[in-house]
Amino acid sequence: MIVTVVGDVLLDVDLDGRTTKLSPDAPVPVVGVTHRRARAGGAGLVAAMLAGDGDGGGGGGRGDGGVRGYGSGDGGGHRGGLRVELVTALGDDEGAGELRSLLEERAGIRLVAGPSGAPTPVKTRVRTDGHAVARLDEGCDPPPAPVVTEQMLSAVAAAEVIVVADYGRGLTAVPALREALARRAAVVPVIWDPHPAGTEPVPGTAVVTPNLSEALALSGASGRGIAGAARAASALAGSWGAQTVVVTLGHEGALLHRAGSGPLVVPAPRVETLDPCGAGDRFAATLARSLGERLPLPDAVQRAIDEAAAFLGAGGVAGLRAATDPEERAESAVLVGGGREAVAVAARVRAAGGTVVATGGCFDLLHAGHARTLAAARALGDCLIVCLNSDDSVRRLKGADRPIMSQDDRVALLSALECVDAVLVFDEDTPEQAIRRLEPELWVKGGDYVAAALPETAVLAEWGGQTVTVPYHPGRSTTRLASALAKVG
């Protein structure tokens, strides 16, 4: 699957440091910089997120009710087959050179860039002890109209999914590019993340994803919360000719408006964050990937909300690495979903002096035996993280007709259990690499296993962890449950 991101790119720089004194010439803190970290921002951040998704595997979904057929059918699609292209405008200054390195060499993105004729916008955030104290903007004045090349138009014409990340710098206003996007919107899903200073989506756009303040400003509607979002979404859908408008509402989730149906509110998990920067980009990236995998639209929106919340829970943009070396990239590739959130949960519990407990399995057709084992495992510590075999992993272990339930459904059921704090999906046949990322104090299995015979036991021993078993509940198994269901048709 080729996902093409179209939009404005900027360079984000984080300067991390410590503050121990005030300046002698002014009552301002002196920040001793200890680390500089650069990353692509704007459309570049969306592309980098998608490229990171492509390092995993598995995924997909089934069902109907998608956007003009984009979310219908038998589903499927593997993130491991994801190709990411970025259509943008870039200058030839130092910032542009750093962006090219970040995007092409480190993230593996195919960059299709025309000349911008303007300095690269650079936004530098100064953080001390984890808190932002200042932001410095350079080169952010309105640029001249960028030049759109034939190569850029060809990339749009070949796209299988398009994400437009409009940051108001004029690229999406170029007539030739708008015409190309409009033609492609009749064939493939186009997801458009608008900007108050940008241009309106092309007619036929599959999904437009403003946040609430953007939706109210762009529509002229009044109100707040869900009621305001509903009025704004309805107005925007009519004026833009978009199939669907999804207004993101922060901790309230999102409101989905489609012509001919009432508003649908999709909830969000609660997360605590001091910096929501990047959540909208994560939402748009996941939504595009999910629609490309033919997931039904409401399920795609729910997945996008969940991944945006997990992104914020893991530290948001401050938790992103500018690059990963090949060895680190190979190790993290086993974490198909929920990796950052699960690792963050483990880190928080460990920092507070608590005990991290983990368990693993396929959990295909969740039954009472599973629930009792999970509850018993949670009682042994201060958090429980479930390492879940991906769909591909289950298929290799159990056969071509398994899993019965997709990994997204299995994650949803496990996450709904009060005893489960996080779910981490891995693509290996066994969870050793996932366990190494978590470093739990306890690894728990049902009593039908012999701890000494489990390969996980040797892994836990690397940091002094322990494998333990909890009572097994005979007579409960996925195989028996599947057989019983088959008999009743």
191 forms bridges with which residues in the sheet? 163, 207
Element (H, E) at 127: strand 122-128
Radius of gyration of the chain (CA): 24
Measured in degrees and rounded to the nearest 5, phi and psi for residue 469 equal -115, 155
Burial 450-468 (b: 16+ CB within 10 A, else e): ebeebebbebbeeeebebb
Residue 475, Cβ density class (10 Å: 0-12 exposed, 13-18 middle, ≥19 buried): exposed
Angle in degrees, CA 195, 204, 291, rounded to 5? 80
Residue type, position 453, single letter = A
Residues 443, 358: Cα–Cα separation, whole Å: 5
Residues 214, 221: Cα–Cα separation, whole Å: 11
C-alpha 152: how far from its chain's center? 26
Catalytic residue chosen out of the listed positions 281, 299, 392, 408: 281
Q: Answer whether 175's CB lies under 8 Å from 202's CB.
A: no
What is the three-state SS of 286-347? Answer: HHHHHHHCCCCHHHHHHHHHHHHHHHHHCCHHHHCCCCCCHHHHHHHCCEEECHHHHHHHHH
Measured in degrees and rounded to the nearest 5, phi and psi for residue 11 equal -105, 120
Residue 403, Cβ density class (10 Å: 0-12 exposed, 13-18 middle, ≥19 buried): buried
* Catalytic residue check, 281: yes
C-alpha 267: how far from its chain's center? 16
Query: Which DSSP category does 222 fall into?
Result: -
Residues 221, 206: Cα–Cα separation, whole Å: 22
Strand duo 254-258 + 264-266: pairing: antiparallel
Query: Strand, coil or helix: what is 256?
Result: strand
Residues labelled as active-site residues: 281
